[in-house]
Structure 1
Amino acid sequence: MTPPATGGGRRPWRAFARWRHRRPFAPGLLLLLGGVEILLTQRASVTVILTAGADSLAGYVLPVIMIVCGALIVLNPRQRLFYAIVGVLASLATWVTSNLGGFFIGMLLGLVGSSLAFGWLPDQPPRRRLRALRRERA
């Protein structure tokens, strides 16, 4: 019998959690998921497709741009403002080119993710530290 592990399996998860909290992970993930959802609705059957632009190149390029911007927001947070602006423009453009923006779901995911990425501030201390500082001052 081998002895039970002493928390060694938790270290990679903690390292990932620390990495994730230092960057706009949720906004990038929302933008990426919005692009994936729009790409999936592009492949829907003919009876489900609502717009005539489903076979156009823009119907496939814009969701790919959303996916790339979502990944780059997470991997390169210093350039998040540029990627957020490109992501919101691509999300809005899918309204016309990709089945009403993936039946509204993908477009809304992209808009919310881009907005959150635009508003993310890396240089602010966590809220727990702010509360502790306010308590010390009072």
Structure 2
Amino acid sequence: MTAGSEATVEPADTGPPAPSGRHPWRTFGRWRHRRPFGAGLAIALGGAEILLTQQASISVILTAGADGLVGYVLPVIMIVSGLLIVLNPRQRLFYSIVAVLASLATWVTSNLGGFIVGMLLGLVGSSLAFGWLPDQPRRRWRRAGARPEKQA
């Protein structure tokens, strides 16, 4: 080195950065517990299952007309209703009614409601969404197996 030049030393890489206190799973968990997540997931999975059990190709369905097309439209309505229940929980009553009607209609239009499994998932998810109460505190059970004491 020459007398006039200064050597700069770069710090060694010390690994991953220090955690900032935000954990993605905890953030997702808090977001999930503030909405009817399980209900929307059940409805969307029911619609997906019904959609996957369709036997005919879309070209045959379009040739058959509107009656055949309904077998594809109703499961898509179920999937969209499930997503909207999760993303917009204030309107969950309307979306759950739409989802239960679509689920019941798939009994006739889509292989007995996706061989009954998809229809039952849609009905259970719709019931859970309809009965979900956002202003109630979460229930916490004690680990010893005892139920919480009733308040007078």
TM bucket normalised to smaller: 0.7 to 0.9
Distance of aligned partners of 1:5 and 1:122 in 2 relative to their CA distance in 1, 3 Å threshold: same
Asked whether 1:126 is paired with 2:149, we answer: no
Q: CA deviation at 1:4?
A: 5.8
Q: Which of the residues 3, 8, 20 maps onto 2:32? A: 20
Asked whether 1:104 is paired with 2:116, we answer: yes
Q: Which of the residues 99, 104, 115 maps onto 1:92? A: 104
Asked whether 1:74 is paired with 2:86, we answer: yes
Cα-to-partner distance string for 1:77-120 (whole Å, 9 max, x where unaligned): 00000000010000000000000000000000000000000000
Shift >4 Å, 4+ stretches = 4-10
Q: CA deviation at 1:6?
A: 5.5
Number of residues of Structure 1 aligned to a counterpart in Structure 2: 128
* Counterpart AA for 1:69: S
Q: Give the match for residue 68 of structure 2.
A: 56
Structure 2: gaps (5+ residues) = 1-12, 58-64, 142-146
Asked whether 1:40 is paired with 2:52, we answer: yes
Structure 1: gaps (5+ residues) = 46-52
Larger radius of gyration: 2
Q: CA deviation at 1:5?
A: 6.2
Where 2:86 maps in the other structure, the secondary structure is: helix
Q: CA deviation at 1:43?
A: 3.9
Fraction of identical pairs, as percent? 76
Q: CA RMSD in A?
A: 2.8
TM-score by length of structure 1 reads 0.80
TM-score by length of structure 2 reads 0.73
Q: Give the match for residue 49 of structure 1.
A: none
